[in-house]
Structure 1
Amino acid sequence: MDSLPTLPIPISFISGRYLLFSIDAVTYLRREHNICGVLIGTLPQIPQQNVFLGLPLELMPEEARVLVDRGVACIVDEAKAHDGMKSLLEEDRRQYLRELESQGLHATRILSDRKGQQRDQALKKLDEKAKAKAKAKAKATKAADDNASASSSAQQDEPASVVDLFADDGSNPASSSKPLTSSTPDAQLAMGITPATSYPPLPHPSSSSQLLSKPEVPLSYPLFAHLHSRGYFLSPGLRFGCQYVAYPGDPLRFHSHFLVVSAEWDQNIDLMDIVNGGRLGTGVKKGFLLGGPEKSREEVNSEAERVESVRAFSIEWAGM
């Protein structure tokens, strides 16, 4: 079971990007707060890898803003937070390295045990197949024999099973009194553990390293926050020619329902844009959702009021 992260979750602000490096934070936010983000990590040896990406997880500014507004996360200036590395005590550094080595040894033992189980299962299957083959051949030979002498001769010619082949020298791995033993994990090099976060060895980010200003968000944020509050999962919609793609549940389990485009309430919209959006949405089996806040930024005191005033319309192309 995933361990619960310490709240507020630190979102690393690096070169204008909002990043998460903790797998516990990633799984928690996806499960409890409908935040998916986009995995952007890749292997240095395979820079063109594009199927199974890993940490870090990049958040849209809108996702980071929603989490900050809810008090679930805080934005951390990583360059400033890592100044603490300079004052890290030597004993703390050594203790942290010992913990990493212990984790590596534990992982090595698990891998060694797993390989041992796989080896035992493979030998057991080979032994069963050999016994079954020998038994079937012995039965056929016995039925074909006319007398005891012919049967005895046939038995001498009968191929031995895996157990018989190793019976004399005691080297049969399944029947030997001395079980196979691999070199102990302690004698091997421990697996290298590369931590994704700096907490520990650094303490949880202090308030001095947290950015006081909230993430800058585009004008589409009120519609994003409105749909998110209704339980939708939202991801970037560039591949569908829209701003967001809205899912009724986790994208791993559901297809998206809407192509989402935001507009200001008094904004002039070309009718052809609505027609194109409706046709595109229907063509990919989704609704075209157009919406925005009724109140402008000048009419409200906070972004929350604009979110509450959002209205959305779903457009579908009939007859297709």
Structure 2
Amino acid sequence: MYLTLLNGTGFVFNVDDYMELRSKHRIMGAPVGTANTKGWSPNQSTLPVELTKFETQLILDENIAKLVDKSQALKNPPTEDELENYKTDFESRLEGQKEALKTEKLRETERYMEKILMGKRKKLIKQGKNEMAAALTAEDVLKEMSDSFKFDRQNALVEVPCEHLEKHSARIVSGPIVNVMSLKYRIFKDLWKQGTFVTSGDAFGADFLVYPGDPLIYHASHIVIIQDTPTIKPLDLVAKVRLSVIVNKGCVFAYKNENDEEIRYQSVAWCNLIK
């Protein structure tokens, strides 16, 4: 599996790769493409999928995929042969649409053939062409439809591929894209290794959100707040715990132990004694 390096992080362009990352490796990312011609909508987003830098680095650390840089190859102007191949392929796609539409038109004509024949015969009779009306057959109607069929290219569906149609040369990116020794990345990786789904917690005023399963099915169970030290200021403690109550999630403070540098977690719950 290969991730494409764009804007300093990994992108996934293949749907099978993304489903494997999501279902097997619990990597979410964020679809940033759109199939909506009127503009981007988060509810209609599709491939490609943009991974966070932490997700990209985790994938590299776990040897799940490789990160490749195609920027040089994609900046090169196409050769005459490549342009000719593209035009031939494009024409083939349009021709395929034309034939598919024509076949569907003829199928619809056959479906309502009795009504069509009746209408055409009545029209011929009104014009005084009784013999032509009597001789009109279904084959005549189908031939007329086939001969008069026109395909307006302006209304053609132009395929927007999720992947590059042709192979490109690429450079393997071997160096880390984030500081793997930073506390935030270490905590992200540690939470992931515990079998959870981990996403950004920016929308909830936290560092991370932790899900017990796929976020499409489950709500986040905890917000994670990262502390540089085990000491938590009282006002920060109250603010973050009250925040977790408002969003109906558990509150977890993550920090490193001052003695052995190991990551520690402290869960805090709001208790209302009045009730």
How many residues are paired up?
A: 253
Q: Choose the corresponding residue for 1:313, options 253, 256, 266.
A: 266
Q: Deviations over 1:11-43 (max 9, x none)?
A: 3232x3443333343333222221111223358
Cα separation, partners in 2 of 1:98 and 1:317, compared to 1, 3 Å: farther
Instruction: Read off the aligned partner of 2:157 and give its amino acid letter.
Output: M
- The residue type equivalent to 1:243 in the other structure is D
How far residue 111 of structure 1 moved from its aligned partner, in angstroms, is: 6.9
Contact 1:263/1:292, CA 8 A, preserved across alignment: yes
CA deviation string 1:132-178 (max 9, x = no partner): xxxxxxxxxxxxxxxxxxxxxxxxxxxxxx97x9489389xxxx845
Give the drift of 1:291: 1.7
Residues in 1 aligned to 2:104 and 2:271: alpha-carbon distance in whole angstroms = 57
Q: Secondary structure at the match of 1:10?
A: strand
1:211 to 158, 165, 173: 173
Is the Cα–Cα contact under 8 Å of residues 291 and 312 in structure 1 kept in the other structure? yes
Partner of 2:197: 233
For 1:310 and 1:115, the matched residues in 2 are separated by: 66
Tell me which amino acid in the other structure corresponds to 1:192: V
Larger mean CA deviation between 189-198 and 40-49 belongs to: 40-49
2:163 to 172, 197, 204: 197
Deviation readout 1:190-239 (Å, 9 max, x if unpaired): 532233433x423362xxx2223111145311111112122222222111
Alpha-carbon separation, structure 2, partners of 1:259 and 1:32:
23
Unmatched 5+ stretches in structure 2: 124-136
Deviation string 1:29-69 (CA, Å, 9 cap, x unpaired) is 22222111122335897457454233332211110111111
Q: Aligned pair 1:288/2:251, yes or no?
A: yes
Match for 2:216 among 252, 274, 286?
A: 252
- Among candidates 205, 216, 231, match of residue 268 of structure 1: 231
Counterpart in the other structure of 1:76: 68
TM-score normalised over the length of structure 1: 0.62
Cα distance in 1 for partners of 2:101, 2:16 equals 23
| Cα RMSD (Å) | 4.1
The alignment-based identity, stated in percent, is 24
Instruction: Return the letter of the residue paired with 1:271.
Output: P
Task: Please tell me whether residue 11 in structure 1 is matched to residue 4 in structure 2.
Answer: yes
Please report the TM-score for the alignment, with normalisation by the length of structure 2. Answer: 0.70
Match of 1:37 among 20, 29, 40: 29
Measure, in 1, the Cα distance between the counterparts of 2:190 and 2:95.
48
AA aligned opposite 1:72? I
Amino acid at match of 1:12: L
Distance 2:185 2:81 in 1: 47
State the alpha-carbon separation in 1 of the partners of residues 214 and 202 from structure 2: 19
* Structure 1 residue 102, shift from structure 2 partner: 3.9
Computing the radius of gyration from Cα coordinates, the structure with the larger value is 1
Amino acid at match of 1:282: V
Task: Encode CA deviations 1:228-287: one digit per residue, 9 max, x unaligned.
Answer: 1222222221111111111111111111111122234x3532122222222221222211
Structure 1 segment 83-232 matched on structure 2, within 5 A: 83=75, 85-86=76-77, 89-103=79-93, 105-106=95-96, 166=118, 169=121, 177=138, 189=153, 191-198=157-164, 200-203=165-168, 205=170, 209-217=171-179, 219-232=183-196
